[in-house]
Amino acid sequence: MYTYKYPRPSVTVDVVVFGYDGGRDLKLLLIQRGGEPFKGQWALPGGFVDMDEDLEASALRELEEETGVRDLFVEQLFTFGAPDRDPRGRVISVAYFALVNLTAHPAVAASDAEQAEWYPLHELPELAFDHARIIEMATNRLRAKVRYQPIGFELLPEEFTLAELQALYETVLGVPEFNKRNFRTRIMKTGMLEEVGRQKNVAHRPAVLYRFNEDTYQQLMEQRDSAVLRRALDFEI
Amino acid sequence: MYTYKYPRPSVTVDVVVFGYDGGRDLKLLLIQRGGEPFKGQWALPGGFVDMDEDLEASALRELEEETGVRDLFVEQLFTFGAPDRDPRGRVISVAYFALVNLTAHPAVAASDAEQAEWYPLHELPELAFDHARIIEMATNRLRAKVRYQPIGFELLPEEFTLAELQALYETVLGVPEFNKRNFRTRIMKTGMLEEVGRQKNVAHRPAVLYRFNEDTYQQLMEQRDSAVLRRALDFEI
DNA sequence: CCAAAAGTGTTCATATTACACCCATGT
DNA sequence: ACATGGGTGTAATATGAACACTTTTGG
């Protein structure tokens, strides 16, 4: 038992993990709750923060414990603290935002009584707590982010074609299709792509395979102010 | 006394308030701590979250209690939770980011033993806790924000000239001076400015005074995706 | 009529858009 | 040889940077 002079809230972390597998929809990693409240309902992976643990570490730990997913890009999203957001009492949740290439992280090892599953972003089940709101905010963040930071590195496999990269952008932004010629010109101008080979055994002209040049990529990520980058990613919608 | 089955962290809010008075530097609102730890040192206004109080409400309450400043634009910045960031034990702090027109909020009513003061952003004193880091992050946010959202509404007086608006942008971005002609063209293209009169009694051609058209402004703020806006504010540096 | 700051016209270079076309492969 | 994507060339238009100029006020 722990005793304090003033009342204290509980603090949890929740993680919104976006996965991409090349399709026309992003996927979201959800778990089915094994205990009350909201037992049996779907929710974001997450849990209580340990007392000697950094917040981000806590998010990564809970994610791995509940879903087996690890080694991925995360950043803090927002802290949700409405007094009535959890029926158990005052619970403040620090939400994280994560991106992962689904084909490289397909296995979803559920812990305990909980199930974990990838849901298409446009076919989500009813969600526990205020998790629908958290997901909404994460989706907005993703769409805003995609305009000033190249996100492909996290969502695509090592090697990919320009058509795949374009499909990713179209999927994230939810737009029909933009001009191939112009997409290519803009992306190539950033210098972040490196040619690594060609497709094999396809019934058409084989596409050039690219990988992200990590150095250039990191540089571009740091200097968000880079005009090159903004101009390259700032697609009309 | 309050007793819990598991240990819980304390949760605080801290507010980074940027003020602008037309000068060549932004100002930051700081308080001098009246109690331990860091007694006598300067810190961000803030304090413990009440159990039945929303986080943002808590930030606004603490700000007003400690500095008298109220009625201002705030948004959540980041949550700081390193286990050792506070010598009193585990304290997680939700930081807020605020903008205010200094000439309209000059009075700084200090509560209790605490002093409150506006410091030029480039002449800050030594700060308590990890507040220097919080301020650094807030400054980065401001500079990023200014590129996709018009921030003048919060920082300038009701009526202002284009030269004043330009000086604000130059101050926030910390650049020497950009081309007057082009600045004007870009800003006017957004349609968010409304002519309201002219300067009086100046020893030169009187400048047109503008105010923000609230409707257009709100619309632009919502649709951050607006190409008009991005192009208008995306200044080269 | 001068100083000071406001405000405008215009040129030139570059970027963006849009559309049509050619290319390489497996069957 | 043809279907299927992959991958260019390029003209018309829009945008942006730069610079010099005109305007309006008070003293």
Q: Quick check: helix, strand or coil at residue B49?
A: coil
Nearest residue, CB atoms, A55 vs list B7, B52, B81: B81
Report helix angle B162-173 to B131-145, nearest 10.
Answer: 130
Q: Does A76 touch chain B (CB under 8 A)?
A: yes
Q: How confident is the model at residue B237, as a pLDDT?
A: 41
B49 to A81: CB separation less than 8 angstroms, yes or no:
yes
Predicted confidence (pLDDT) per residue in B25-66, tens digit: 999 999 999 888 999 999 999 999 999 999 999 999 999 999
**Chain B CA closest to residue A76:** B78
CB B150 within 8 A of CB B220: yes
Q: Give how far A4 is from chain B: nearest CA, Å.
A: 5
Extract the tokens encoding B224.
């951050």
**pLDDT score for B229:** 62
Closest nucleotide to B203: CA versus each C1': D26
Residue A178, CB, strand D, below 7 Å: no
pLDDT in tens, A63-97: 999 999 999 999 999 999 999 999 999 999 999 99
Q: Do residue B55 and residue A11 have CB atoms under 8 angstroms apart?
A: no
Interface subset of A 115-134, CB within 8 angstroms of B: none
User: A143 or A56, which is more confident?
Assistant: A56
For residue A97, the cross-strand partners are: A16, A75
Distances (CA, A) of A236 to A67, A136, A220, B53: 36, 22, 21, 41
Q: For chain B, how far is it from start to end, CA to CA, in angstroms?
A: 55
Residue matched to tokens 């296995």: A107
The C-alpha of B201 sits at a distance from chain A's nearest C-alpha, in angstroms, of 41
Specify the pLDDT at position B23: 85
Distance A232 CA to D10 C1' (A): 21
Which range scores top for mean pLDDT: B127-131, B150-154, B194-198, B227-231? B127-131
Find which of A151-155, B71-75, B220-224 is predicted with most confidence, using mean pLDDT: B71-75
Residue from A44, A86, A99, A36 nearest A67 by CA: A44
Q: How many CB atoms lie within 10 A of CB A172?
A: 21
Per-residue confidence band for B192, with pLDDT thresholds at 50, 70 and 90: confident
Judged against a pLDDT cut of 80, whether residue B77 lies above it is answered with yes
**Per residue in A194-235, pLDDT tens?**
999 999 999 999 999 999 998 888 877 776 556 666 666 665
SS3 string of B151-210?
CHHHHCCCCECHHHHHHHHHHHHCCCCCCHHHHHHHHHHCCCEEEEEECCCCCCCCCEEE
Q: What is the dihedral of CA B193, B195, B197, B199, to 10 degrees?
A: 50
B193 CA – D4 C1', rounded, Å: 52
Domains of chain B: 10-145 (3.90.79.10), 156-233 (1.10.10.10)
Contact A144 B54 (CB under 8 A): no
Percentage of the residues of chain B whose pLDDT score is greater than 70: 90
Average pLDDT, rounded, for chain B: 89
Contact B76 A76 (CB under 8 A): no
Whether chain B has a CB inside 8 Å of the CB on A230: the answer is yes
Average pLDDT over every residue of B133-144: 94
Task: For residue range B200-210, list pLDDT tens digits in order.
Answer: 989 899 999 99
